[in-house]
Amino acid sequence: MIIGICGGSGSGKTTLMYRLAHQFAVCKPTLFSMDNYYFPIEKQVKDAKGVANFDLPSSIDRHKLYLDLLQLQQGSTIQQKEYNFNSETGKNVLITLNPSQLIFIEGLFLFEYQEIHQLLDFSIFIDFDSKLQLDRRLYRDQEIRGYDREDILYRWEHHVLPCFENFLLPYRNEADFIYNNTTPDEEFLRLVKALEFKLTCSKK
């Protein structure tokens, strides 16, 4: 089974994926991040001010992403270059993903990329308060990526929000489960029950 987690930047996609992986650890799930398929910064589209826009569907190597996910689904081991927004081109760490009967994939464009959407057996869309979402992005991008506050706010207004409105929100109601991340503990229990039911049905 391939379970997809979609949500805006800073909504908690990665956190939810790891939490679910721990919950279903007995399945030894494979964890697949769309972030590892970003093209290098020199290949990103730049806006009118010359700022690279990582929030467009063209920012990711969707063809390689699709082929790798397909290989995993078919039982083959794959290798990815772990993407770091601050690393030099060619300096990314190589990671190995082994196939599993349970694969979690998270990323912005899970629904926008129809070929990926069609591979999902169960899809999750994360709803999150936009103010809290911005607070999380500010913390992450300042503390971990070293960006300054003005740059983060500029990208939020001109890249992140338009991305969410154009490439994520239109697919919200197509998800199998809408996860409200403002009440994560209650929602997590509901989600686990839904996934357990899905997994049980798939074994029959």
The per-residue pLDDT for range 97-115, each reduced to its tens digit, is: 999 999 999 999 999 999 9
pLDDT at 126 over 70: yes
Residue ranges of domains in the chain? 2-203
CA distances from 99 to 21, 68, 71, 75, 158 (A): 14, 11, 8, 5, 38
pLDDT at 85 over 80: no
Query: Which CATH architecture is the domain 2-203 placed in?
Result: 3-Layer(aba) Sandwich (3.40)
> Which residue has better confidence, 202 or 104?
104
pLDDT at 23 over 80: yes
The per-residue pLDDT for range 30-80, each reduced to its tens digit, is 999 999 999 999 999 999 999 999 999 999 999 999 999 999 999 999 999
Q: Which residues of 106-145 are buried (b: 16+ CB within 10 A; e: fewer)?
A: bbbbbbbbeebbebbebbbbbebeeeebbebbbeebeeee
CA distances from 90 to 82, 95, 190 (A): 11, 14, 42
What does pLDDT average to over the chain? 92
pLDDT above 70: percentage of residues in the chain: 96
Res 204: pLDDT: 60
Of 153, 162, 167, 69, the closest CA to residue 109 belongs to 167
